[in-house]
Chain A
Amino acid sequence: MKDPSRLYRWMLLLTSLVSLGFLLAAAVRENLLAEWQQRQRTYRKLLAEKATDARGRELLRNFRIELRQVSVPALGAVDRCVSCHVGIDDPRMTDVPQPYRLHPGEILEHHPVDRFGCTICHQGQGAATNFHDAKAEDAYWEYPLLPPELTQATCLSCHDVTRLPRQDVALVLEGMRLYEEKSCGSCHKLHGRGGALGPALDNEGMKTKHQLVLANLKPPYTTWRWHQAHFRDPAGLVPGSQMKNPTVTESEALALTAYMLSLRQRDIPESYLAPDKIAQKFRALSPQPQPAERLYRMYCFACHGEGTYGRWEKVFLRFIPAIRGPLAVTATRRYLETQIAQGRPGTQMPPWHSQAGGLLPEEIAALAEYLRSTAAASPARATAGGTAAVGRGDAARGQVLFLRSCAGCHGVSGTGGVAPELAHPVFLQAADDAFLASTIRNGRPQTAMPAFQRPGSAGLSDAEIVDLIAFLRSLATPPPGPTAPTEEPSRSGGNP
């Protein structure tokens, strides 16, 4: 009779052999062939080559192949990088290949490894014990190893960048300069100051790749590769993005990227902060007014440019006025200040008062004065309110005139078209009658707004202008209309 369990005994033999084989293989792979162990074996050979004196021989004798780590509870870091970078603090290891080489520069003198660890500056997955996972570009880890040229970005976590040696943080400083030059603050808020069209950037350096649109980026996916590509072509990376192309070179994009990576809101214990960083934080509590010219460059330039010509903005589908043109001359200071402080709700122009755009009242005043004092000389420079004897006009007659002469550009009910919206409450509140009259009368040179009462031309009479103004005023208290300035034009990332 056939043995009923013969099949099973063969199966047992086979599966036992397979199991034994794989158990052995796993034991060897996990316990003997780990990457860090192989690295340390190589390092021991290097130690032996360099053991020329008594000290060197002692180091070699005491060298154990073991997992090394720096545990920094205050920073929440357990960094095992030193398991492979064994020679990081051995001054003899200058002519050896990575990962055995001495840490470059004098940084470790001020930042002892056992107090700071590695990832506070370099990022990467400190817990990992092989290079692929430690670098973490292609691993499930939020903050991969920074490339060497961008590592300076993390210096700003603990230092006031202006107090660091310039050559060490040159890229970040260049990025900061470009941030001002390219007027990024017109749309982005940083440290509580800036526009509201784009997301706030205070924590941009801590963003992970999952918070970015990666669809049009080629791998490897890292935040810095995204930033670099994005600075070169914002809409190409994020379809539908309204961000203006900052027109930067490849190296400028890298500098801006370094600056973005340096923006980190990380809770680092005070004992780790440089005194100048604490002083910087303290200073930030009582901001000093900036010169108006700089403010204009930082917060106005992106949209208004030099401000001498108005233009049609294709992305916004809106007219952007020439704020350093004749407007600045005809308008009163109060008008300009109100416009800057309140913005134009419902348009892309955000409010800039201290609770919104973060500008101080004296800065806004200085900006208004700057616009007026530097306005381009205009042939039609007229004295404001020359015939300002504005009486009570007839709004009904004004409406007929408006439909005939103004509605083509300003919209039938003044809601704006190619020309700005006149029914806007902030505008009507800020603009006094003299300003309105003078603008209608003299037009706005260098824009499409014509003069309606040139000497010797058949234009509007003074009385008609008064009627027109009456009509405009009637728009300020409209029957329930769609112009209530409640809508927040912000698309920002919600920085409080």
Chain B
Amino acid sequence: MATTAPPSETISATQEFLSNLRQLPRNLKDAWFRLGRVPGSEREESQATFHNLFLHLHSVRVHRRTLSPSLTLGLGLIATFSFVVLVITGLLLMIYYKPSTALAYPSMKDIHYVVATGRFIRNLHRWAAHIMVIAVFAHMARVFFTASYKRPREFNWLVGLGLLVLTLALSFTGYLLPYDQLAYWATTIGANIANSPRELTDALGITPYFDPGGLQKRLLLGAQTVGEDSLIRFYVLHVFLLPLLLVILLSVHFWRIRKDGGLARPEDPAGGWAEWGGKMQRVFEPLATKTYGLMAVVRGRRPPVNRGPEGTVMSWPHLFWAELAVFMLTIAITLVLSFYIDAPLKELANPAVPENPAKAPWYFLGLQELVSYSAFMGGLVIPSIAVIGLALIPFLDRRPGGEGVWFGTPGERTVAWQSLLFGLASTVGMLAFTVNFGWLRNWFPEIHQLWIIAINPGSILVVLFAGWSLWVLRRRNSVRLAAVALFTCFLVGFVVLTYFATVHRGPNWQFYWWPSQWPVH
């Protein structure tokens, strides 16, 4: 460098070095916070957003509705931030956890008793996982009931569905890792659900030739029973493959939100007046001849940039305050729960002493209830119908209207209430009937299994829900309302079955009013 320095330079290199050293803190700060101060103008606020890798995923301005707490309930953010908590606590747990059948359980005990705050970190991991599963489900319901999946957001609905599946898979693979009795038998049940196509192939007598159930189970466990192979498999899925996929899909999910024009909302009346903040304000009308810069290249019909102050606010700082608040809310809830309630750790896994009842993780208990009627129906057909049905919603309901508003279509609230009652009545009724009177096998012990696969409480519920939805379709003459009917029934069925199997199913899958009434054995 000395050769290129101008010879007229009066300060020596030593002085320059010392001066740079003195200014190091200041320059470091400038390099880090490029602006060096809190943004003052909207221009600086814009720069604060799009000059930052993490923030530039947001548009510079967002619509006011985005900030309304009652629109989104922050559910997507809660799910995301739970995932952040899970990644951080998961990494900490990985440092001490040893994925082998001989060491896994003792390492859990060490985390629990010896590792500094290890028990608390594990609690956080456990609770964040529960919160994430619940938030993802609730987020899906929110998006559905605000009709936010409609064009142009169909693709993002599918991505979200993928995220739901990944979330469940992550939670399920994590279940085995402690290698205690709870883990062992819940995983065994999960693997048997994967094995469920065998009920059909067995009934048809073709299992020796065509055995997709057995293949699924072997792929999942790497063996016939849960053991060393399953543990390492679940570990790799849980700490590497599934989180990686989830991060990728999550990025796509956020990217699509931006590209689809932010959160779904009703169109502002163009050029007119709209009420915002208690006042009537003029709404910006874009000029047809003007493009609004690169940031305007989104698929919404009106660009979000340069819209007048009536409809939008600066993302910095308003949106980021909101996001930060939801982040801290998630953390606070997780912390409080983890402080008071420990994550369970039962005895060391023992294949010789089955848990009775052996129950899958709670979000699969609805499925387990259905599987108890018919493995094939409950383990394969009904979940497939549910996932395919959910995926098809935005493609079958294409009439615009009601986006971004809770129960925005006329009559939707009524249909939702009716469907809630219908779903509740039919699910509870079906459960009560089955508990009191049994089913085909109890009445006709010799009956062929194919009859039970076809006709069981689960399949009858599917038929009832579909029938109700079709009736709404004809009666109300609206695809959206039919979708609301079906989705509400699905949701109610899921919740009721999950609750029922969690609380009211005891040893040998018998009915009990409360777990305290279970026979002790």
Contact = CB atoms under 8 A, between A and B. Distances in A.
A282 interface: no
Contact of A18 (B332, B348, B519): B332
Nearest to B105: A127
Nearest to A1: B277
A130 to B, nearest CB: 8
A48 interface: no
A127 B113 contact: yes
Interface string B348-372: 1000010000000000000000000
A43 to B, nearest CB: 19
Nearest to A3: B318
B460 interface: no
B24 interface: no
Nearest to B320: A5
A16 B347 contact: no
Interface stretch (B89-97, B322-330, B429-437, B482-490): B322-330
Given A5-B322, A140-B346, A214-B521, A12 B328 contact: yes
A285 B136 CA distance: 64
A78 B339 CA distance: 27
B64 interface: yes
Contacts of A25: 339
A67 B114 contact: yes
B75 to A, nearest CB: 15
A18 B336 contact: yes
Interface string A179-214: 000000000000000000000000000001011111
B277 A7 contact: no
B521 A8 contact: no
Nearest to A31: B116
A26 B346 contact: no
Interface in A5-27: 5, 7-9, 11-12, 15-16, 18-19, 22-23, 25-27
Contacts of A18: 332, 335-336
A4 interface: yes
B489 to A, nearest CB: 35
B332 A26 contact: no
B329 A15 contact: yes
B401 interface: no
A212 B114 CA distance: 32
Nearest to A143: B347
A12 B255 CA distance: 26
Contact of B331 (A11, A19, A140): A19
A215 interface: yes
Contact of A2 (B69, B117, B278, B336): B278
A9 B329 contact: no
Contacts of A210: 347, 353, 521
A306 interface: no
A349 to B, nearest CB: 31
Contacts of B300: none
Nearest to B317: A5
Chain B interface, DSSP helix/strand/loop, else mixed: helix
A128 interface: yes
B120 interface: yes
A8 B347 contact: no
B107 to A, nearest CB: 10
B186 to A, nearest CB: 15
A128 B116 CA distance: 14
Contacts of A131: none
Given A26-B335, A30-B117, A4 B313 contact: yes
Nearest to B335: A22
A208 B347 contact: yes
B302 interface: no
A1 B64 CA distance: 12
Given A8-B321, A12-B325, A140-B346, A208 B335 contact: no
B339 A211 contact: no
B5 interface: no
Given A7-B69, A22-B332, A23-B335, A12 B120 contact: no
B345 interface: yes
A15 B332 contact: yes
Given A8-B324, A9-B325, A19-B332, A142 B348 contact: yes
Contact of A9 (B321, B331, B336, B521): B321
Contacts of B288: none
A221 interface: yes
B1 interface: no
A129 interface: yes
Nearest to A80: B113
Nearest to A30: B117
Contact of B520 (A4, A23, A140, A221): A221
A352 to B, nearest CB: 30
Nearest to A17: B332
B67 A4 contact: yes
A86 to B, nearest CB: 17
A141 interface: yes
Contacts of A12: 321, 324-325, 328
Contacts of A19: 328, 331-332, 335
Contact of A30 (B110, B116, B344): B116
Interface in A80-134: 80, 127-129, 133
B336 A129 contact: no
Nearest to B279: A1
A140 B347 contact: yes
A215 B507 CA distance: 13
Given A127-B110, A215-B521, A140 B180 contact: yes
A26 B277 contact: no
B238 interface: no
Interface string B416-439: 000000000000000000000000
A57 to B, nearest CB: 31
A5 B322 CA distance: 7
B114 A129 contact: yes
B142 interface: no
Contact of B347 (A4, A23, A142, A217): A142
A175 B389 CA distance: 67
Contacts of B110: 127
A216 to B, nearest CB: 9
Contacts of B338: 26
Contacts of A214: 520-521
Given A4-B318, A8-B322, A26-B339, A211 B353 contact: yes
Interface string B95-119: 0000000000010011001101101
Contacts of A8: 67, 318, 321-322, 324-325
Contacts of B319: 5
B49 to A, nearest CB: 14
A217 B322 CA distance: 56
Contacts of B277: 1-2, 4
B64 to A, nearest CB: 6
A388 B208 CA distance: 65
A384 to B, nearest CB: 53
Contacts of A133: 113
Contact of A5 (B119, B318, B520): B318
Interface of B: 64, 67, 69, 106, 109-110, 113-114, 116-117, 119-120, 180-181, 277-279, 313, 317-319, 321-322, 324-325, 328-329, 331-332, 335-336, 338-339, 344-348, 353, 519-521
21 contacts: A2-B278, A4-B313, A5-B318, A8-B322, A15-B325, A15-B329, A18-B336, A19-B328, A19-B335, A31-B116, A31-B117, A78-B106, A80-B114, A127-B106, A127-B110, A128-B113, A133-B113, A141-B347, A215-B520, A217-B520, A221-B520
Interface of A: 1-2, 4-5, 7-9, 11-12, 15-16, 18-19, 22-23, 25-27, 30-31, 67, 78, 80, 127-129, 133, 140-142, 208, 210-215, 217, 221
4 smallest beta-carbon distances between A and B, as pairs: A15-B328, A5-B321, A5-B318, A8-B325
Given A129-B113, A129-B114, 9 more contacts: A9-B321, A16-B332, A22-B335, A30-B117, A78-B106, A140-B345, A142-B347, A210-B353, A215-B520
